[in-house]
Amino acid sequence: MSSAVQVREQGADVERPLLEIKDLAINFRTSNGDVNAVRNAHLTVMPGETVAIVGESGSGKSTTALAAIGLLPTNGRVAGGQILFDGEDISNASEKRMIELRGSHIGMVPQDPMSNLNPVWKIGFQVRETLKANGLPSGPDDVANVLSQAGLPDAGRRAKQYPHEFSGGMRQRALIAIGLSCQPRLLIADEPTSALDVTVQRQILDHLETMTTELGTAVLLITHDLGLAAERADKVVVMYRGQVVEAGPSLELLRNPRHPYTQRLVSSAPSLASRRIQVAKEQGVESSDLLAPTEPVVVEEALPEDVLKVQDLTKVFKLRGALGKSTDFTAVDNVSFSVKRGTTTAIVGESGSGKSTVAQMVLNLLTPTSGKIVFDGVDTSTLNSKQLFGFRRRVQPIFQDPYGSLDPMYNIFRTIEEPLRTHKVGNKASREKKVRELLDQVALPQSAMQRYPNELSGGQRQRVAIARALALDPEVIICDEAVSALDVLVQAQVLNLLADLQSNLGLTYLFITHDLAVVRQIADHVCVMEKGKLVETGSTDDVFDSPQQDYTKALLNAIPGAQLMLPPEVA
């Protein structure tokens, strides 16, 4: 059944909005009094329409959507405005009414597939209770049918398994099956794929789109990714600090953003940066503070030489199995590449590709099973403890999680000073001076010195981590997913900072990431890894413009909104 037929069948209701949010205000009770999480929010979802709410973390996008299904956290409440579902105000509806609406009229697909299925019940049980609660037939065949419609192969057998026997993508399919099982008229999809690898993400979103189009379900899609929103939705609503700042047809919004925040967001969206520069230049959009130079800055005296050479690197982990038997798991399989001084090399891959294991071995935190790593002409496995201490000075890491990589007990000064003290550099006064310089370099105010990590935001902590990595004037910095946890705008700032530091200090980066858009923005060379093997390597432009391997092509195709970000005449 096509959506057009579905819409016509509903006859007179076609032009009445399915969901209308008017002047919505949501407050959270906290120990420091009420906090305004959402103000003056308004949006409309017509029957069968897909609307995306885009915003960074803390913008109120999820809160707004959860209010529409009556699932605000216990300390949150609707403080004003209306939520009209099919003409009925449900902002203060009774719990009984909400239970009637949930499932059969309003469905939900949550964000994290790992935590949203109850680990102690079989998948089939969790589907069946949904059908049962909403008065639908719930025999084994009905359950299997629901699961197979969500694209789960061998659904009858799968229904008898527990969530931990499913991969992330399969769990998300099960959650989509549950969300759509009672054929609701509105589906709230809260970042439904942000926890998944890009290629899986694309498959799942495609499938979700097919299903909702067939059923004529309206979708309220919550996402942080502007490209994804524009690609999937008819209409995009941009939220910023609890308010709706701009709303409109997705392509129109992307090509002609009018609110300054949307403009910022569009120009920082990491999808396909180099093309974006051209477009921005043509349109005269001010973008100097957003973009990193993509061309490497070659340091004057040093001709590009291989500062780091990885040869036939292999890492095999022994997994302890049943009855004391151990099975071998090859995390990294015969990987070779080299990194030229003063350039950025990116290792790209999805989860389980072995990219982080490579980083650990390069950092000499993990011993390779075979193969070698040559740093500045010396095989790092031959270093004695004193030489290793010297090596540590020259190769520094920056980690992904800005919450986990700083000791919460150390203030910022002690954090940045620690490497200097460990290597006995200078005296107290000179170390303090150096810390101040480093804070300047990463654009943090000196007043931050006495603060503790828990008082800083994610981006600021990542700056502190960069300052700590720079303290010993290293030559190579290994960035392990260093910007993945950050919001788009902050991510752009940090990438910009890294690029500036590279051109000023002649640093070499080995950048480990799953995000191809970031790679395009920052890297000179790319190594693509899949299941422990290196599948493709080359200059960034070559790999992006003419990928040789199917896997690389699939990865590139999966970048959300890639095609949409092109100016109309190119697309």
Positions in 388-427 near other proteins (CB under 8 A)? 388-389, 392-393, 395-397, 399-401, 403-409, 411, 418-419, 422-423
- For the CB of residue 510, give the shortest distance to other proteins in the complex, in Å: 13
User: Is residue 12 involved in binding other proteins (CB under 8 A)?
Assistant: no
- Contact between 529 and other proteins per CB under 8 A: no
Contact between 553 and other proteins by CB under 8 A: the answer reads: no
CB of 430 to other proteins, least distance (A): 18
Shortest reach from residue 483's CB to other proteins, in Å: 13
In the bound state with other proteins, the residue whose beta carbon lies nearer, of 322 and 429, is: 322
Establish if 254 lies at the interface with other proteins (CB under 8 A): no
Contact 339, 276 (CB under 8 A): no
Residue closer to other proteins by CB (options 52, 534) is 52
Q: Report the Cα 487 to chain-centroid distance in Å.
A: 8
Q: What is the DSSP string of 203-215?
A: HHHHHHHHHHHHH
Q: Assess contact for 47 and 14: CB atoms under 8 A.
A: yes
Asked whether position 434 contacts other proteins by CB under 8 A, the answer is no
Task: Let me know: does 174 contact 123? Beta carbons within 8 Å.
Answer: yes
- Residues 117-136 touching other proteins, rule: CB under 8 A, are 117-121, 129-130, 133-134
Residue 534 in tokens? 């290196």
Binders of other proteins among residues 334 to 373 (CB under 8 A) are 363-365
Q: Shortest gap between Cβ of 21 and other proteins (angstroms)?
A: 13
Q: List the structure tokens of 170.
A: 């399969």
Contact letters (x/-) for other proteins, 308-337, by CB under 8 A? Answer: -------------xxx--------------
Looking at the Cβ atoms of 258 and 281, the one nearer to other proteins is 258
Tokens of 109: 């697909």
Q: Which of 239, 273, 278, 275 is nearest to 259 (CA)?
A: 239
- Cβ 538 to other proteins shortest distance, Å: 26
Is 193 a binder of other proteins (CB under 8 A)?
no
Contact 10, 47 (CB under 8 A): yes
Establish if 141 lies at the interface with other proteins (CB under 8 A): no
Binding status of residue 552 toward other proteins by CB under 8 A:
no
Among 23, 89, 100, 328, binds other proteins (CB under 8 A): 100
Pick from 296, 459, 532, 547 the residue near other proteins by CB under 8 A: 459
What amino acid is encoded at 54 in this protein?
V
Taking CB under 8 A as the rule, does residue 567 contact other proteins?
no
| 209: contact with other proteins by CB under 8 A | yes
Smallest distance, other proteins to C-beta of residue 300, A = 29
Residue 150 or 244 having the CB closest to other proteins: 244
At residue 327, the 3 state secondary structure works out as: strand
- What are the contacts of 422-431 at 24+ separation with CB within 8 A? 423/389, 423/393, 423/472, 425/472
Decide: helix, strand or coil at residue 237: strand
Judged by CB, which is closer to other proteins: 108, or 528? 108
Considering the complex, state which of residue 133 and residue 535 has its C-beta at the smaller distance from other proteins: 133
Q: Which of residues 36-95 bind other proteins (CB under 8 A)?
A: 40, 46, 48-50, 69, 71, 73, 95
CA atoms within 13 A of residue 342's CA, in its CB half-sphere: 15
How far is the CA of 180 from the CAs of 183, 202, 456, in angstroms?
5, 19, 40
Give the integer Cα–Cα distance in Å for 386 and 194. 44
Cα–Cα distance list, 309 to 55, 369, 380, 469 (Å) = 41, 17, 10, 21
Q: Binder to other proteins among 26, 68, 101, 498 (CB under 8 A)?
A: 101
Return d(Cα 315, Cα 332) in angstroms, integer: 5
**What sign does the CA torsion over 95, 96, 102, 106 have?**
negative
The least CB distance from residue 375 to other proteins, in Å, is 13
Tokens at residue 421, please? Answer: 């003290």
Per CB under 8 A, 554 contacts other proteins: no
Q: Is 153 a residue that touches other proteins (CB under 8 A)? A: no
Q: State both tokens at 437.
A: 């310089």
